[in-house]
Structure 1
Amino acid sequence: METEVYDLVGVGIGPFNLSLAALLDDIPEVTSVFFDKKPEFDWHPGMLIVGTRLQVPFMADLVTLADPTSQYSFLNYLSEKNRLYPFYFLERLDIPRREYNDYCQWAASKLENCRFGNRVVALDYIQNEENFVVTIEQIQTKETTTYRCKNLVLGTGSIPVMPKSFQGLSTEHVFHTAEFLNRQDRCRKAKSITVIGSGQSAAEVFRELLKEQMEHHYQLNWITRSRSFLSMEESKLSVEQFSPDYVNYFYQFSQEEKDKIFASQDLLYKGISSHTITDIYNLLYEHSVSGEKMNVGLQVLTEVKSIQEKGNKYEILCHQWQQKKDFTHESEIVIVGTGYRPNVPDFIQNLASYIQWDDKGRYEVEADYRLRLDIPNQIYVHSGISHSHGVGSTNLGLAVHRNKIIINNLLGQEVFPIYDKNVFQNFDAETF
């Protein structure tokens, strides 16, 4: 057992907790340690497709929006990697997703408070000492160690969602987009592939398959229940909804009103980036040269009702919901882009009696990202808070702002300034 009582223990090391770890590195007043079961930082490795871009500007790195002088900034990463001039000549704000992952790995390797290859197996609370107890299993040795802390921060991320009818089928042939790169070689050998869903991940997988379709000659289809393959809302004033100002505005509503508002904002986070749609259209156009048979199909307005194995293929029952017509479609490989859900690990249940939950079984979360608890200690949370803090909850551009609030709260003082006005438009009713 570790004898030190840490001020903060982090569970999970994704971009949000990695940002917090980096910002805390220069604040000796807070003792912290972060754990993750992965052997190293690796952000959605199955989707690190060459040519995919981060959907936020590079300034949404781990530290810049709080401390541009930090040694953990993206620009310092470029400097150490001797990539400043190539980036200068690139003349882009967005960066390759693979480079963002490499940047985070670079930062994580420098942080002594980040410990990979360590799985959290239990969380407990000692009431008479007012301490949390975190039990860690070292992945390689299977040895367990316990750590005590005053506060926790949960960064357990999200997990892929597969519809029930798709579960129990061969994961070599029916899989989530999160597994794409692990299954790409299998796709190249297939005679037919179908992608289901019309979000960014599905579009990126379809684009990659379309690039190679002429070489490998598979039938390629893309199905969505949406009325079209819709672009994400990316206009300058629209993306101001990914700001601290809008988070504060959204938080003030009742939970019933929040759920209604959030349900109307899908194109802020569920659509496809315009450059991805442009790439796909350009590829389709080139495939159609000389009137060649494209062997590519795009099907909108269509729900997938069920799927069943049929020989060496899968039969998909589809429903065109505007025409109210059913039809079947066969495919050797089926790739499902049905999104992710918040990961609430089983070990949270040991603390469940201290946590306040809403009527839908979701965390009740304070404005400053603390769970509502029946104990004096704090549990901060990064994932599973879209219902409380809105559409920007998973947006990397708000990670640093959230961590500024957490650090200020931990220290009981304003280490990082929090500004009331960050955007041009007003969300609250105000007199002009």
Structure 2
Amino acid sequence: MRDTEEGPVRVTRTDLANKSDGTANVDVVGVGLGPFNLGLAALLEPVEDVSAIFFEAEPDFAWHPGLMLTGTTLQVPFLADLVTLADPTSRYSFLNYLHEHDRLYRFYFYERFHVPRQEYDAYARWVAHGLPTCRFGHRVESVTPDGSGAWTVRVRSAHGAHTYRARSVVFGVGSRPYVPPVGQDLLGDDLFHAADYLTMRGKAIEAEAVTVVGSGQSAGEIVADLLETGIHTGQRLDWFTRSSGFFPMEYSKLGLEHFSPEYTTYFHSLPASTRDRVRAGQDLLYKGLSEQTSERIYDLLYTATIDRPDPPVTYVAGCELQDVQPSPTPGRQWRLTWHHVDEDRTVARDTDVVIFATGYRPAPLPVPDGLIQRDEYGRPDVSRDYRLRLDGQPPHPSSLFTQNAELHTHGVGTPDLGLGAYRNSVIVNALAGREIYHVPERTVFQRFGTAALDDETRH
């Protein structure tokens, strides 16, 4: 966790100093610049004795651009920005963003706890543009041990290849859209993942028949958007999910306490098999529909049926997609075969456009095979302080850290923006070898497990 005995090399505001062999020395390299690593870059910026540089292959910051639908909001409060829950005085806070853009009074009168998704994206881009350590248009091709306890990081940009020597590397490579195997080889402009919805929206709106697969927030927002126009044009809309229902995401105050440092610690302490069993029953803590989206869909359907027959809208839960083939029906593009689990019955439905709102899977880490420890499912073994455990490697002072690849080890709060600043506080303190940001021991009222009860009994 701690730095080596050599003193840190500070990144200047202009660029890194290169050694004679063209390799630049730095304490920390960040791989990927989604919200989590961007928050880490912001929290490291005032730490004078830890040099850092962050690389992102995309040309600029963009947070789920394909789902930036008008009227959608974050599912977490604005306090869950990149830095506030670690350092409310940071100049990279959302409130300071509003202040710098003369929007603070407007937000005051807006009186909303959940900000528009478009504004969160604009805020994060403002932070990215203000940090000299963030480099876009740079793809990290590999991270390998250099034999001395540090890491060799090879990066490629439009200006050529670059090599960096880092004591620590933090992976924030995010996730990739997941499409069920039956549809993976058929992707195109009429069969696509929800991540591309805005790009393909025109095709979907103009189609005579559309099918949305999945029952989470993205699926619900797309269904609501299609209903806005499709109800009036007579578009046939199918909405199927293998989940047992179109349920709301848990948003009660006691339920939200699972998105806390205490629960993360408790969950990580459980045996791996227990963690998998517990998490399998927690989908609605971080999946499902927001209450507002569920109401919007129902209200659209209710209004559309006033003094009129039901529109051609069908939504059914408990259906597994078994096959996707070209449709034999004239005028239709695809035939989807569904298996209803409870009835053990198979049905076919024809459609023109298929939208997979089927979630995301962690992107692979750019490290050699056999470098990090993995479980029987191929998932990385992540320690409590977010370090990747190395496979067959002797302990050394530098570390590999990961962000948002530890759902199986750290629980439901892993992808949640509200725990990003906390996780980054832990990582910053580990990188610096001392406490830079205070990490509180108690943040919620609930007790997880029995250890605390034992302590109270002894007292």
TM-score > 0.5 by shorter chain: yes
Alignment of 1:393 onto 2:414: yes
| 1:96 partner amino acid | P
Tell me, in whole angstroms, the C-alpha distance in 2 between the residues paired with 1:280 and 1:323.
26
Task: Give the alignment partner of residue 405 of structure 1, picking from 395, 401, 426.
Answer: 426
Task: Identify which range, 254-263 or 218-227, moves more after superposition.
Answer: 218-227
CA deviation vs aligned residue, 1:94-132 (integer Å, no higher than 9, x gap): 1111111110001000000000001111222211x3221
Tell me, in whole angstroms, the C-alpha distance in 2 between the residues paired with 1:263 and 1:300.
18
Residue 249 of structure 1 corresponds to 266
| 2:156 partner amino acid | E
| 1:255 partner amino acid | A
**Would you say the 8 A contact 1:59–1:65 is kept in 2?**
yes
Alignment of 1:419 onto 2:444: no
Tell me, in whole angstroms, the C-alpha distance in 2 between the residues paired with 1:163 and 1:96.
30
Q: What displacement does 1:383 show?
A: 2.5
Tell me, in whole angstroms, the C-alpha distance in 1 between the residues paired with 2:201 and 2:145.
45
Alignment of structure 1 residues 345-424 onto 2, 5 Å = 345=365, 347-348=366-367, 350=368, 352-373=369-390, 374-375=393-394, 376=396, 377-424=398-445
Tell me, in whole angstroms, the C-alpha distance in 2 between the residues paired with 1:11 and 1:189.
40
Q: What displacement does 1:331 show?
A: 0.4
**Would you say the 8 A contact 2:24–2:163 is kept in 1?**
no
| 1:82 partner amino acid | D
Q: What displacement does 1:215 show?
A: 4.5
Tell me, in whole angstroms, the C-alpha distance in 2 between the residues paired with 1:51 and 1:22.
28
Alignment of 1:145 onto 2:162: yes
Tell me, in whole angstroms, the C-alpha distance in 2 between the residues paired with 1:2 and 1:385.
34
Residue 89 of structure 1 corresponds to 109
Residue 202 of structure 1 corresponds to 219
Residue 310 of structure 1 corresponds to 327
Task: Identify which range, 117-126 or 5-14, moves more after superposition.
Answer: 117-126
Tell me, in whole angstroms, the C-alpha distance in 2 between the residues paired with 1:355 and 1:330.
45
CA deviation vs aligned residue, 1:161-184 (integer Å, no higher than 9, x gap): 111111221411111111100100
Task: Give the alignment partner of residue 130 of structure 1, picking from 124, 149, 170.
Answer: 149
Q: What displacement does 1:249 show?
A: 0.8
Q: What displacement does 1:145 show?
A: 0.8
Alignment of 1:228 onto 2:248: no
Q: What displacement does 1:308 show?
A: 0.5
Q: What displacement does 1:146 show?
A: 0.8
**Would you say the 8 A contact 1:302–1:321 is kept in 2?**
yes
| 1:103 partner amino acid | Y
Task: Give the alignment partner of residue 155 of structure 1, picking from 152, 156, 172.
Answer: 172
CA deviation vs aligned residue, 1:241-283 (integer Å, no higher than 9, x gap): 0000100111111111111111111111121111110111111
Aligned residues: 426
Distance 1:102 1:216, change over 3 A: farther
CA deviation vs aligned residue, 1:370-427 (integer Å, no higher than 9, x gap): 1112241200100221111011111111111011111111111111111111001111
Q: What displacement does 1:226 show?
A: 2.4
Tell me, in whole angstroms, the C-alpha distance in 2 between the residues paired with 1:212 and 1:184.
12
Alignment of 1:119 onto 2:139: yes
| 1:135 partner amino acid | R
Residue 307 of structure 2 aligns to a residue whose secondary structure is helix
Task: Give the alignment partner of residue 277 of structure 2, picking from 260, 265, 274.
Answer: 260
Tell me, in whole angstroms, the C-alpha distance in 1 between the residues paired with 2:204 and 2:273.
43
Distance 1:27 1:168, change over 3 A: same
**Would you say the 8 A contact 2:428–2:436 is kept in 1?**
yes
Task: Give the alignment partner of residue 176 of structure 1, picking from 166, 189, 193.
Answer: 193
Alignment of 1:36 onto 2:56: yes
Alignment of 1:78 onto 2:98: yes
| 1:392 partner amino acid | G
Task: Identify which range, 287-296 or 368-377, moves more after superposition.
Answer: 287-296
Q: What displacement does 1:3 show?
A: 4.1
Residue 297 of structure 1 corresponds to 314
User: TM-score, normalised to structure 1's length?
Assistant: 0.96
Task: Identify which range, 241-250 or 160-169, moves more after superposition.
Answer: 160-169
Tell me, in whole angstroms, the C-alpha distance in 2 between the residues paired with 1:357 and 1:297.
42
User: TM-score, normalised to structure 2's length?
Assistant: 0.90
| 2:205 partner amino acid | R
Residue 79 of structure 2 aligns to a residue whose secondary structure is coil
Q: What displacement does 1:359 show?
A: 2.0
| 1:132 partner amino acid | W
Q: What displacement does 1:4 show?
A: 3.5
Residue 69 of structure 2 corresponds to 49
Gaps of 5+ in 1: none
**Would you say the 8 A contact 1:314–1:331 is kept in 2?**
yes
| 1:107 partner amino acid | V
Q: Once superposed, what is the RMSD of the aligned Cα atoms?
A: 1.4
Q: What displacement does 1:225 show?
A: 2.2
Tell me, in whole angstroms, the C-alpha distance in 1 between the residues paired with 2:376 and 2:343.
37
**Would you say the 8 A contact 1:125–1:133 is kept in 2?**
yes
